Amino acid sequence: MMRALEKADPGTTPFDELRRRAIFEDFVKEASFGRAWLIFAGEKLAGYVILTLGFSFEYRGRDAYIDELYLEAQLRGRGIGRQTVEFVEEAARGLGVNAIHLEASQANTTAIELYRRAGFVDHDRRLMTKWLTRGPT
């Protein structure tokens, strides 16, 4: 599913399965990094969501980032994304999170509309990144 997410959003870093596995193994070993959940539609695996945890003075302490949210294409438009965002919000509250951030490609208007309906707002800021280690290649 992580590979499918990268194909659906080609503006992200190139998919490297070995690197991704190592990152995920590090992530699940350290609870302070965040949480990951599988999403089911009945008995069918529908996707996954990853919430990473951080700290921000601007957002008054603990904040979080929906780092990845993926739903199988044939299961979209059924309310599963909305239910997933609501679930993540409740879980984040339980972790003492004050604010949740996310990013979506400008071309992904369906996801943007889902997030807006869920209460996320665009702050007219630009996400900028500088790699401190070898970049996305």
Confirm whether 126 is domain-assigned: no
Three-state DSSP class for 68?
strand
The pLDDT assigned to 8 comes to 67
The pLDDT assigned to 130 comes to 78
The pLDDT assigned to 15 comes to 74
Q: Are 62 and 52 in contact (CB under 8 A)?
A: no
> What's the CATH number where 62 sits?
3.40.630.30
Task: Give the span between the Cα atoms of 90 and 112, in whole angstroms.
Answer: 20
The pLDDT assigned to 45 comes to 96
Task: Give the span between the Cα atoms of 66 and 74, in whole angstroms.
Answer: 22
Confirm whether 122 is domain-assigned: no
Total number of domains in the chain: 1
Confirm whether 123 is domain-assigned: no
Residuewise pLDDT in 10s, the chain (137 residues): 777 777 666 566 677 888 889 999 999 999 999 999 999 999 999 999 999 999 999 999 999 999 999 999 899 999 999 999 999 999 999 999 999 999 988 888 888 999 999 999 988 888 888 778 876 65
Confirm whether 47 is domain-assigned: yes
Confirm whether 130 is domain-assigned: no
Domain containing 79 equals 2-117
Confirm whether 111 is domain-assigned: yes
Enter the pTM of the model.
0.86
Separation in Å, CA 25 to CA 57, 75, 89: 29, 28, 24
Partners of 65 in beta bridges: 52, 101
